[in-house]
Amino acid sequence: MERYESLGLVGEGSYGAVLKCRHRDSGRLVAIKKFLDSDDDKTVKKIALREIKLLRRLRHGNLVNLLEVWKRRRHWYLVFEFVERTLLEDLEQNPSGLDLNTSRQYLYQILRAAAFCHQQNIIHRDIKPENILISQGGVVKLCDFGFARTVALPAEGIVYTDYVATRWYRAPELLVGDIKYGKPVDVWAVGCLLLEMLTGQPLFPGDSDLDQIYHILLFLLCFSIFTGFQRS
């Protein structure tokens, strides 16, 4: 960290913190993710190593760029390009939703990022507004690959954990405990994001898994009634 000057805390999570920093020689702004003591906590260590491994493989204009990695005093440090804001911040500043053109531009880039990951046989599993970075020029970058993983082949018989994705963006198969899901869980999350960008409100704001399922079923019921009226 001696090569970088800390400019403040960007965010904190269950597994570490993200700092905005400046490289002392070049002046380049970066975001440095510092994981908690990963040697003592197997979960943190697994998440850190998984993110490092996947991001070294994934290079795309709509994915956050991992610049360097090091370990010091039992902590992993990941250095990323600095991107100015998140989609969550945009939504907080626009409580009635984003304009249609902006939503289209963001959606196109989010889909490009997800499609590229899926082409590499990787599912993100935690697509949400906080994990969508947006530059001043409007370039979208998908970030935080701590829950991402490679999709197993059916013949391998590997099962996944069902506790991934923030609840509001969690696909129904995750809510009911399915452990053999795939790429559609990312597509569901992107669909939730689209409606939130257009309205400014989360589509399914459940306060528990059961309440989340209730919101989804209520939406489907209302949608079927509405489309039934439209046809008649």
Q: List, as residue ranges, the binding site for ATP.
A: 34
3 state SS of 59: coil
Tracing tokens 């869980």 back to the chain, one arrives at 185
Residue 200 gets the label, from left (phi > 0), alpha (psi -120 to 50) or beta, of left
Pairing of strands 4-13, 16-23: antiparallel
Token pair recorded at residue 214: 């209730």
- Contact present, 186 and 120 (Cβ < 8 Å): no
Tokens of 50: 């998984």
- Rounded CA-CA distance 191/165 in Å is 14
Dist. CA 196–CA 97, nearest whole Å: 7
Feature table: binding site: 34
Instruction: Tell me whether residue 211 is one of the annotated catalytic residues.
Output: no
199, exposed or middle or buried, with CB in 10 Å at 0-12, 13-18, 19+? Answer: middle
- Active-site position among 39, 90, 99, 126: 126
- Return the active site residues: 126
